[in-house]
Amino acid sequence: MKPKHWILGTAFSEGLCVLIVEIAGARALAPFYGTALTVWTAQITATLLFLALGYALGGRLSRQGKPLSLAVVFWGAGAWLALFPFMRNGVLTASATLPGIGAGSFAASAILFGPVLLGLGAVSPLLIQRLQQGDRGGEAAGGIFFTNTMGGLAGGWLTALALIPHASLRLVLAGTGLALVLLGSLWAWPEKKPAPST
């Protein structure tokens, strides 16, 4: 069992990555769709939709109790995001054929970032399962959501003030994907079993 600070650190990192994907993702749509309110609405709607689906998925996975579930959702989300530089132009070109900016930008966001956000949404229920002890599920959920949201605030400022002004979107998003794969690998790392007492 990972210690509490490890679980909360993961929640913070997950929230940070969600905001990087949301803000940098909207910027990635801009060359094809601009930065109108419709485009931002499509990006936010896709974000909320896939996070909600991820919460449901995480709840189902937490009931199964498989120890590698958390690692697998990080690996899946990270691998998909790391492919962003290779998928971007094809997806944006294809989605631009849909009628209207709203439909095209939503479809592009759903394809490019939906699987990532689905995986990241599944993280919170899986962390809550690891954190709760006995009947303290509400306290565990509150701790996870607080820490996750603080990570999101940090991710928003980091993306707006440091990442977007100083790095290419391809590097920011693919690098975030690789960080998620690494985080999944850390969760898959076998823990040392306590030495038997003599």
Express each pLDDT in 14-70 by its tens digit: 999 999 999 999 999 999 999 899 999 999 999 999 999 999 999 999 888 788 899
Q: Give the angle 2-15-44 at the CA atoms, nearest 5°.
A: 150
Convert the pLDDT of each residue in 117-140 to its tens digit.
999 999 999 999 888 765 577 788
Q: What pTM was computed for the model?
A: 0.89
Contact of 101 with 33, CB cutoff 8 Å: yes
Q: Which of 46, 28, 164, 178 is nearest to 115 (CA)?
A: 46
Determine the 3-state secondary structure of 36 from DSSP: coil
Convert the pLDDT of each residue in 160-171 to its tens digit.
999 999 999 999
Contact of 77 with 116, CB cutoff 8 Å: yes
At residue 66, the pLDDT reads 83
How would DSSP label each residue in 4-15?
HHHHHHHHHHHH
pLDDT of 5 above 60: yes
Contact of 37 with 102, CB cutoff 8 Å: no
